[in-house]
Amino acid sequence: MKKTILLLVAGETSLSVESVFGDKASWFKSALEECGANMKTIEAYKGETYDENDGDAWIITGSADSVMENKDWMAFMEDKIIKAHKLKKPILGVCFGHQILAKALGGEVIRNPVGWEVGSHDVFLTDQGQKTGLYKNLPPSICVYETHQDTVSKTPPSSKLLAENSMGVQSFMVNRSYGIQFHPEFSYDIMRSYCDLNKSQGIEFKPDKNIDTNDGKAVLKNFILELLD
């Protein structure tokens, strides 16, 4: 029987990006369908409600909003994360999702004093990271797409650090809840489009310093194929 993944959308897709590549839900859907999973989309950022019992697993997307804004829908999400985590439901938090997962479970999130991390970047797996199914069949160093300025400064109690780089925490786990700071749903062209959107922040896409990589997609597929049994 197919698993149903609840996709909690934490922010709208930029219209200029969506007009070319579709919305962020569609980027996740294609990967999930390849793994034989169904997907149900909840527009959490619009206040759409959901229950901790919904879905066989959750994926929480990225967002232009900051976890530190503490909006009403974020408080609702944190409450549901805590309850779903207690039920041992598999949860994958992506970028903003990674940060709100950490915050809900007792970690801390700050604006990264080092600045933005944007484009393709190397991420280094810890010994624990190399042992978990989330990174099965991946090398100790992977290249992934990033676009964020907030960061997890302290992981939750009893968590295990799975990956890091010079910008800080890149992945952690607490039981069956997993956080990844990077975007496994991005393609090279989507990453480039987001860089173009943030030119006003002094961000410039440099083709010679960004590579086309599928490491992130492999992590997403591992979450579905290795961790949902």
Residues designated catalytic:
95, 183, 185
Q: How many residues does the chain have?
A: 229
Tokens of 159: 């968590």
Q: In what order do the strands lie in the sheet with 141-148?
A: 38-42, 4-8, 57-60, 91-94, 177-180, 168-174, 160-165, 117-125, 141-148
Tokens of 175: 């039981």
Residues 216 and 12: their CA atoms lie apart, in Å, by 21
Tokens of 146: 């990033």
Residues 24 and 65: their CA atoms lie apart, in Å, by 15
CB atoms within 10 A of CB 222: 21
Say if CB 102 and CB 108 are below 8 A apart.
yes
